[in-house]
Structure formats: structure tokens, C-alpha cells
Amino acid sequence: MSPSGAELLRQVKSQIEEVDPSEVHELMHEGVAVIDVRETEEYAAGHLPGAKHVARSYLETRIEGVVPDRSTQVILYCASGNRSAYAARTLKDELGYEHVRSMTGGITLWKDRGYEVVVPRALSSEQRERYSRHLLIPEIGVEGQQKLLDAKVLLLGAGGLGSPTALYLAAAGVGTLGVVDDDVVDLSNLQRQVIHSTQRIGIPKVDSAEESIHALNPDVNVVKYQTRIDASNIMEIIEGYDVIVDGVDNFPTRYLLNDATVRLKIPVVSASILGFDGQLSVFKPYEGPCYRCLFPEPPPPGAAPSCAEAGVLGVLPGLVGCVQALETIKLILGVGKPLIGRMVYFDTLNMELRIHKLRKDPNCPVCGPHPTVTTLIDYEEFCGLRTAPNSPTHAQTRQAAS
Ligand SMILES: [Zn+2]
């Protein structure tokens, strides 16, 4: 005869280890993975500080994403300690986790003991609907969507790359978008700069971008900077942003941006495009190389013959800019493997993607242990010859399309 539910629970509890809330409280900050196995609505109503959510019904498929190392100390809890007991047995016996315990009495006993419970802010009903497809993704959910709504992203340039990044980040619910651009909308922009429109020719790009962003998502706060970034204003503009999306069209700004963002430890999602080719990387200060690790010094002014625009396929910034938006969202959410220390090359004419590892320069003049570049410099305008893709100077000599 099969055991009754109560008997089965007794059996399961005899096969696993349990831990008292007081011990969990002491262990919380010591690298222990605390997992809430309740349903999404229960977790959203309040959970232990720092607890990760993996509903019991998704335990087998999602636990590895949250706790990849099976030797990690794992503590599971639910409402009263029963569901987490079953889940603990599954982790131990079927998935091979070595140190799994279930918290006695669940969050109910935890609360009775007077320990802290974190209640995530709720989304409005309109937001739940607007972001419903995000809420379904385990890597985002309500918590991730809140992170997006709290995030501040600065877009350098409301041009070719800035158009798709601004639109998709706005659509995703990134709460604050700063837009830096001193230009006005020109007819020749519209072949690729899809955030603007024919009726807006002649008006400042920051105003045009703001109109499109608000039309798409009124949740987004747009901060406009109708100016060019230089050494005198860069620190003031970029301070306080979580991520910077670099779509600038000139190398002096790129060096200046690198030097300033390393100083403020702000990650930069950097891309450039030309013709049918694009490239993209994430420069996260001190976690991977910075731009100067790759190219320590800008070429001297006048070293290259011409700064004439070489042209760009209109759809290319759409593709590369969308990847920038995606990497930005990964950085905000803290999920996946961002493109830190790697450069992706798009050869869209032959439709080939290549990813190259980038190395940190141990003697980097900016992010190395003994930095020599200690003041912000406005480099004179310079430009470079186009070189073969993948040559070390490729990134440096490309002209990003604005
Ligand atoms: Zn560096």
C-alpha cells in the first residue's frame, strides 16, 4: 500500500537535513545559496533577504542556472517547510547537490522569530501587462523588471546606433534614458536613424528622440543633453549612470569616454559600424580590458588622410544597436555572460560572426596598477585609414556611423 501524504512527508524529512531559521539567519552572508521554492506570487509577496527564487515546479530545470556548483551550501525554504523538504530530497538524491538543507517551519517561522522579510515593490496593473512577456522569463521576472525600471542608461548619440538602442531600451522599461547629441535631424540621417522622422527634419535630435521614446513608453524618463561631450563636461554628464551605450562617431570622444568611465567604474557597451561590417564589445572597468588596453594611444592628428564618411548600410546599425541594447539589459539584470573581454565582429555581407578574446594590458595607462593618464584630455580630431577586419587596428580606425 502506498504511504499516506503525512507518512510520505515524514519519510522524506527523515532522509534530508533540516536547519533552524536562527542558523539560516547567521549563515545568510556567508556564501550560502538561499532558495525560495514557493510560487511566483508567494515570492513576490515577501521573501528572505537575498533569497533567489526557483519555484519547486521548475526546480529540476532551473536550479543549475541559479546554483551551478553542486558543492555549494544550499538552503531551501517554502511557507512551512514541507515543499522545501521534498525539493531538498530532489536536489540531493536526483540532482547530486552535496550540501542541501531545508529550513524548518519555512518563512512563517522565520517571520515569527522577527527576522527581516523583503517585499519587492509591486508593478502597476498596466506595467504587469506591458512587461508581461518579460515577467514570464525566469531571468527577468518581477524583480528583474524592477531593476530595469530603476536603471539609468546614458546613450551617447541619437543616431544610427542610438536609434535602435533607445527604442528597445525604452520598450524594455529602462526607467531613465539620458540622450547626448548636439545635432539636428537631417534628411540624410533617415536612411538609418529610425527614431527620427521626416516631419522632424531640422529639430534637435534629443527632442525628436524624446518624442519617439515617450510615444512608445511613457514610463521612461528622458534626460536630454544637447551638447558635445568634452573633457570639461563629461564627468558631470556621465556620473550616476549605470551603463553607457557608446554610439559616438569619433575617436577622441571614445578615448575621453574610456578614461572617464574607468575612473567612475561605469561599464560601456561600445559598437562601431562601417559599410556592411560592425563590431561590438563591453568594456567593464577592472573586470575586463578597457579601450586603452587594446589601443593605448590615439594615432597622432593628421596621421590619416581623410575623415570623409565611408558610408554604411542602413539596416546595419539596427542589427548592431539591438545587440548593444541586449548587452545593456544583461548588465542591468546581472544575467548571462556579457561581452566583457570579447569582441564580436559582424561581417554581414558574407553573414559571418566572429568572436575574439581581448586581453587586459597589465601596463594599461588607464586601468593598470600604475596609471599614467590621470587627467582627462580632449584629443584633436583625427581619423584613420580603414584596415582589414580583425587586424589589431581595425576597431581604432573605423568610423562609427552616427
Ligand atoms: Zn585598460
pLDDT of residue 295: 86
Bigger pLDDT: 249 vs 119: 119
Tell how far the Cα of 271 is from the centroid of ligand 1, in angstroms. Answer: 17
Pinpoint the alpha helices (H) of 296-387.
316-333
Residue 302 reports pLDDT greater than 80: no
Tell how far the Cα of 289 is from the centroid of ligand 1, in angstroms. Answer: 5
Tell how far the Cα of 299 is from the centroid of ligand 1, in angstroms. Answer: 17
Which of 32-41, 304-313, 325-334, 362-371 has the highest average model confidence (pLDDT)? 325-334
Bigger pLDDT: 137 vs 120: 137
pLDDT of residue 179: 98
- Give bridge partners of residue 340 from the DSSP assignment: 282
pLDDT of residue 200: 98
Tell how far the Cα of 36 is from the centroid of ligand 1, in angstroms. Answer: 40
Tell how far the Cα of 306 is from the centroid of ligand 1, in angstroms. Answer: 28
pLDDT of residue 170: 98
pLDDT of residue 396: 40
Tell how far the Cα of 308 is from the centroid of ligand 1, in angstroms. Answer: 29
pLDDT digits (tens, 9 = 90+) for 196-252: 999 999 999 999 999 999 999 998 999 999 999 999 999 999 999 999 999 887 778
Tell how far the Cα of 260 is from the centroid of ligand 1, in angstroms. Answer: 12
Rounded average pLDDT over 140-165: 95
Rounded average pLDDT over 180-187: 96
Tell how far the Cα of 370 is from the centroid of ligand 1, in angstroms. Answer: 11
Tell how far the Cα of 282 is from the centroid of ligand 1, in angstroms. Answer: 13
| Cα–Cα distance for residue pair 400/282, rounded to 1 Å | 16
First to last CA, the chain: 74
| Cα–Cα distance for residue pair 347/324, rounded to 1 Å | 16
Tell how far the Cα of 287 is from the centroid of ligand 1, in angstroms. Answer: 10
Rounded average pLDDT over 344-373: 94
Tell how far the Cα of 263 is from the centroid of ligand 1, in angstroms. Answer: 11
How far CA 347 is from CA of 68, 191, 201, 318, 351, in Å, comes to 34, 20, 32, 14, 5
Tell how far the Cα of 266 is from the centroid of ligand 1, in angstroms. Answer: 13
pLDDT digits (tens, 9 = 90+) for 185-199: 999 999 999 999 999
Residue 35 reports pLDDT greater than 70: yes
Bigger pLDDT: 383 vs 54: 54
| Cα–Cα distance for residue pair 293/358, rounded to 1 Å | 9
Supply the mean pLDDT for the chain.
89
Residue 8 reports pLDDT greater than 60: yes
As a whole-number percent, the residues of the chain with pLDDT over 90 amount to 76
Residue 387 reports pLDDT greater than 70: no
Residue 391 reports pLDDT greater than 50: no
When mean pLDDT is compared across 230-234, 256-260, 382-386, the lowest value belongs to 382-386
Per-residue pLDDT band for 300 (boundaries 50, 70, 90) equals low
pTM of the predicted model, to two decimals?
0.72
pLDDT of residue 44: 83
